[in-house]
A and B are shown apart, each in its own frame.
Chain A
Amino acid sequence: MEERRKKLNLNRVPMPKQPPETRRLNFEEVALGYTDDLARLEAERCLECKKPTCVRGCPVMVDIPDFIGEIKKGNPEGALKIIKNKNSLPGICGRVCPQELQCEKQCILAKKGAPVAIGRLERYVADWELHNGRRSIPEIAPSSGRRVAVVGSGPAGLTCAADLARMGHSVTIFEALHVAGGVLVYGIPEFRLPKRIVQAEVAYVASLGVEIRLDAIVGRTVQVDELLSDGYDAVFLGIGAGAPIFLDVPGKNLNGIYSANEFLTRINLMKAYLFPEYDTPIKVGRRVAVIGGGNVAMDASRCAVRMGAQEVFVVYRRSEKEMPARHEEIENAQEEGVIFKVLTTPVRFIGDEHGWVRAMECVQMELGDPDESGRRRPVPKPGSEFILEVDTVIMSLGNSPNPLVPQNTPGLETTRWGTIVADENGRTSKRGVWAGGDIVTGAATVISAMGAGKRAALDIDAYLKAL
């Protein structure tokens, strides 16, 4: 009894990280992950509740205490099997899920101290698999003879495809870019999510029998209606919300002003940080302003630091408290020297005679009454205008849905924001067509997209069985 009491540690086992002064200079992963010993130590903290609340916090309902129990026993392979029953992409989820709002928020220990580091443990298990080169393939149901087309290879599409393949359906993923992974490859930087992890998880999905067709742009190369008439029994649209929003102020098209999507795509997908080893160039000046306060803004500002910018500002119109970015990412950015200019918004960009941005005029804001979203509305303070000299600007104000598929698919109902209308199982207004992830919800999280892919897979399976 005494022994057991001593073990209840209210502090989580810290995860080793690259120190800020080193990691500012490289694109390697910041968080280094648990060792076997650290993982077991952290796993020991789990009380293995009879009615685990953490599972309810997980959008794909991973059997958390069960897999942690296996880690306690020193059996990561067993832990992996339990996770992969529900989640095909643990290496990714363990890294990029906002666990503080999901599983870890529901952990019973959170009432007294730090919740069990579920995300770190999930990541440990996934990394163990990669490190040991052992891939466990789950049971696959006998072939149903049905074919499903999954459009987009981001988190929603990969999850939906993996689940459908396990149910015995023949699945083809159509991806517009030359690499599969969606935002996992073009959006989230290497230092937060190494691309070898993404490629390993994509390879896992392919190992379930899923065919991945690259360079295939649905809406241009092939239409949804053609897929339906060409022998696919169902279509899942996991096409994301990938169209950038630009702040509509004078000078927005000056040279040196990027959308975060362009900036991150050049760096992550095209590896412009390795120019001229890689052919895609990028231009990062000495003083960089990133406009916005979400995770994408943190990613962009931290990339700019690594590209050698001397001063990087995050310019956000509300206060730090309202920032939608994960707390951990804000902290990482601050440690790396990113300067936060909150309650500030640009009103125009000022260029030189060659069309390059040189400065932006900003105005200070104060918070007024709450708006529709419940957050206090920022109001400009008259007379507070000032000039911030910058030579690179990255706009990170969110994304809207790409209109290519909706425009070219008759009978597919969309909202006035361009998102596809779908019920909780992903069923759209068009027979045989499902949708899930950001194209339905607008820009959200990796795990919520995976949850949508999972629910759609179940519903598609039921539909196919009834055909």
Chain B
Amino acid sequence: MFKIVDKKTLSPSTKLVVVRAPHVAKRARPGQFVMIQIDESGERIPLTIADFDRRAGTVTMIFQEVGKTTMHLGTLRPGDELFAVAGPLGHPSEIALYGKVLCIGGGVGIAPIFPIARALKEAGNTVLSIIGARTKDLLFWEDRMASVSDELIICTDDGSYGRKAVVTQPLQEILMKEASNIARIWAIGPAVMMKFVCKATEPYGIPTIVSLNTIMVDGTGMCGSCRVDLKGETKFVCVDGPEFDGHLVNWENLLMRLCIYREEEQLALNRWLETTQGVIAAGGKA
């Protein structure tokens, strides 16, 4: 069992948990992820490692409440325990001195882009960052991103904070102004966002690394549920990734595969909401 030692609410639907998992913390590197399972009847879901503390033996995960498992996770408190935390999984990000790099984080993708931006900065790169969300409430870690970025652009879809734009708009401007200065780009966020970032950078030929968040079961390469088509070659996100050259990704197939269990996800969520609300109502009466 893996104890939750800290928990924070970053936005109404984005939460942070710090979990004691010394075996993961010991080896974790930016870009890697863990598989977690809340309880014995739970499912295994992948969460990116947003931070780690080797001495304390803890790893930090940030997640958005989008369905049954993440909402359940969101109700847990310090002292509660997770049934399984396995990792670190996947390859770490390839951190090197590239020159000027651009880090783009969309929504909950701000969490995993942070340790990468930090490592790139520590490696001596000039780090330019763009973070974006639908609305102001969904933004977080502006200060942390600012602390590791030479320049930080913030945008919201509705203009409630920063620029009123989606992340690809400031990206286009940067590309037009100084594409030849940008050595490498990292983009993490919803699949659609990553797809459009890659479309924007492709004509300039700038290597664009994306971190794919596909459906996973074991996370160790034994099932292929996370398989992705890279220009005709099948790769497993859990062992070959999660980072890939975004220009090779078959985004249409990736987006379709993310929808496989949409009905079941809705059913599980509704059922969970009914039972938990029942519990809350019963508790209220008592």
Please report A residues at the B interface, Cβ cutoff 8 Å: 176-178, 186, 214-217, 220-222, 242-244, 246, 252-253, 255-256, 258-259, 261-262, 265-266, 270-271, 275-281, 283, 354-355, 402-404
Contact = CB atoms under 8 A, between A and B. Distances in A.
16 contacts: A177-B86, A177-B218, A177-B220, A220-B27, A221-B86, A242-B222, A253-B253, A258-B225, A265-B218, A271-B41, A275-B264, A276-B267, A278-B43, A279-B43, A404-B221, A404-B239
Nearest to B68: A279
Nearest to B69: A279
B267 A253 contact: no
- Which of B69, B84, B89, B264 has the largest count of A CB atoms less than 10 A from its CB? B264
Contacts of B85: 215
Contact of B43 (A216, A261, A280): A280
A403 B238 CA distance: 12
B225 A355 contact: no
A279 B43 CA distance: 5
Nearest to B34: A215
A215 B84 contact: yes
Contact of A253 (B221, B234, B261, B268): B234
Given A253-B229, A270-B44, A220 B223 contact: no
A220 B89 contact: yes
Given A279-B68, A402-B221, A355 B253 contact: yes
A262 B260 CA distance: 14
Contact of B223 (A261, A279, A283): A261
- Which 3 residue pairs across A and B have the least CB separation, nearest first? A355-B256, A281-B264, A262-B223
B58 to A, nearest CB: 15
Contact of B221 (A258, A283, A403): A403
A222 B222 contact: no
A278 B84 CA distance: 15
B224 A217 contact: no
A265 B222 contact: yes
Given A176-B86, A214-B84, A217-B89, A262 B256 contact: no
B257 A246 contact: no
Given A253-B229, A261-B222, A404-B221, A283 B260 contact: yes
Contacts of B253: 253, 355
Contact of B257 (A221, A253, A278): A253
Interface residues of B, number: 43
- Which of B43, B218, B222, B260 has the largest count of A CB atoms less than 10 A from its CB? B222
Contacts of A271: 41
Contacts of A217: 86-87, 89, 220
A242 B236 CA distance: 13
Given A215-B85, A221-B88, A244-B222, A262 B217 contact: yes
A199 B69 CA distance: 26
Given A178-B83, A222-B23, A255-B256, A281 B239 contact: no
- Which of B37, B220, B271 has the largest count of A CB atoms less than 10 A from its CB? B220
Secondary structure call for the B interface: mixed
A265 B259 CA distance: 20
A42 B260 CA distance: 50
Secondary structure call for the A interface: loop
Nearest to B85: A215
Nearest to A245: B224
Given A176-B86, A220-B88, A221-B24, A278 B41 contact: yes
Given A176-B86, A221-B87, A402 B271 contact: no
Contacts of B223: 244, 259, 261-262, 265
B87 A281 contact: no
Interface string B71-97: 000000000000111111100000000
A355 B264 contact: no
A244 B220 CA distance: 12
B217 A243 contact: no
Contacts of A222: 23, 27
Contacts of B221: 242-243, 402-404
Contacts of B88: 220-221
B259 A255 contact: yes
Given A280-B43, A403-B221, A178 B84 contact: yes
Given A243-B221, A246-B234, A281 B265 contact: yes
Contacts of B247: none
A404 B227 CA distance: 17
Given A178-B37, A220-B88, A265-B223, A279 B256 contact: no
B71 to A, nearest CB: 12
Contacts of B159: none
B42 interface: yes
B84 A280 contact: no
B218 A252 contact: no
A277 to B, nearest CB: 7
B42 A279 contact: yes
Contacts of A261: 222-224
A287 to B, nearest CB: 18
Contacts of A279: 41-43, 68-69, 268
Contacts of B239: 402-404
Contacts of A278: 41-43
A277 B69 CA distance: 13
Contacts of A215: 23, 84-86
A255 B257 contact: yes
A159 to B, nearest CB: 21
A252 B234 contact: yes
Contacts of B41: 271, 277-279
Contacts of A270: 43-44, 217
B153 to A, nearest CB: 34
